[in-house]
Amino acid sequence: MILNNIALFLQIVESGSLTAAGREAGLSSTTVSERLAALEAHYGVVLLNRTTRAISLTEEGRTLVEGAKRVLGEVEELDTRIRHGAQTLTGPIRISAPIDIGRAVVSDTINHFVAEHPQISIELLLSDGYVDVVNDGIDIALRFGRVSDSSLRVRHICLSRRLVCASPAYLEQFGTPMTPDELTQHNCLIMRFGRHLDNVWRFGDGATQQMITVRGNRVANDGALVRQWGVAGLGIVLKSEHDVREDIRSGKLVEILASSAPPAAPLQMLFPPSRAQPARVRSLADQLASRLGASRLIPDD
């Protein structure tokens, strides 16, 4: 019974309310409230602060969320091994990925993985902004760049080059910049990551590094849209090679300023700070790492 109540508690946290959790679980709001009260009585602490409009986790509630995901995952994996054998993978996986790479690479990898393991269910959350891996219940998060949260487990996949690109039509109409400084005379299409505007583009490395502040008439927080604008000839873009690989190969986009290449950014997988991962998560992580490492234009040295 205690495990069932813990699972219901996680459902409350993920759905955002007792009513929504009850609806998903097929339980009345009264039953959900009673089982939450029983769980809090069992531990002798308040797990959720509740108002008429919202719920929020107490410190004890956050601790339970972190531990419960690990414990319930291990129980589910044990149940699967006993019922179906050690080679059967089953259960849910929640993944977060940037929009472009999520659509271009991750989605196709998921399709193959689920075809091989039909008892797996996957929720793919695409966002170019910040994601709270722990509180959002993410099993695997793909992110470019440095990781600011030192509590997360990190798996390095590869270094991903960042390419300055434009369509042949744009370059024919406005000319090709030959140095990074000339970008200030061009229309650059800019990404926004939350509050951060990615309008300072870095070129070279070490003592030769340049930082150019670019401007343009379009800004978006959707990397796929910025790439689409670039393909349409509306301006110059700075994108990961994973995002524009097919556009470069097909000629829809042309890399420029290659001799002043922007520094590569690490592509990494982030995991919650639990001590163990379910076999299904480890298996999918391995497939994603293999596919993403192989999808680069130029391999690591």
Q: Are residues 146 and 282 in the same domain?
A: yes
Q: Are residues 93 and 166 in the same domain?
A: no
Q: Are residues 138 and 274 in the same domain?
A: yes
**What are the CA-CA distances from residue 4 to residues 35, 75, 189, 193, 270 (Å)?**
9, 12, 50, 38, 28
Q: Are residues 255 and 273 in the same domain?
A: no
Nearest to 160 by CA among 265, 85, 79: 265
For residue 165, what pLDDT is reported? 95
Q: Which of 83-97, 151-165, 171-185 has the lowest mean pLDDT?
A: 83-97
Q: Residue 139: give the domain boundaries.
A: 89-158+266-294
> Is 76 inside any structural domain?
no
Whether residue 241 contacts residue 297, with contact meaning beta carbons closer than 8 Å, is answered with yes
Q: What is the CA radius of gyration of the chain?
A: 23
Q: Are residues 149 and 166 in the same domain?
A: no
Q: Are residues 228 and 175 in the same domain?
A: yes
Q: Are residues 166 and 221 in the same domain?
A: yes
For residue 297, what pLDDT is reported? 44
- Give the CATH number for residue 97: 3.40.190.10
For residue 164, what pLDDT is reported? 94
Across 263-291, average pLDDT: 83
Question: Of the residues 48, 63, 78, which one is the last residue of a structural domain?
Answer: 63
> Is 300 inside any structural domain?
no
Place of tokens 């390419």: 163
Nearest to 67 by CA among 213, 279, 273: 273
| Segment 91-140, tens digit of pLDDT | 889 999 988 888 878 999 999 999 999 889 999 998 877 778 887 888 99
Residues above pLDDT 90, as percent of the chain: 29
What does pTM read for this prediction? Answer: 0.60
For residue 301, what pLDDT is reported? 41
For residue 280, what pLDDT is reported? 87
**What are the CA-CA distances from residue 234 to residues 25, 140, 167 (Å)?**
48, 34, 8
Amino acid at 272: P
Place of tokens 């940037």: 98
Q: Are residues 93 and 242 in the same domain?
A: no
Nearest to 220 by CA among 200, 241, 237: 237
Q: Are residues 227 and 275 in the same domain?
A: no
Residues above pLDDT 70, as percent of the chain: 90
Q: Are residues 152 and 276 in the same domain?
A: yes
For residue 229, what pLDDT is reported? 96
| Segment 80-92, tens digit of pLDDT | 666 655 556 788 8
Across 242-252, average pLDDT: 89
Nearest to 139 by CA among 108, 93, 98: 93
Q: Are residues 239 and 170 in the same domain?
A: yes
Question: Residue 299 class from Cβ within 10 Å (0-12 exposed, 13-18 middle, 19+ buried)?
Answer: exposed
Tokens of 165: 């690109």
Q: Are residues 272 and 152 in the same domain?
A: yes
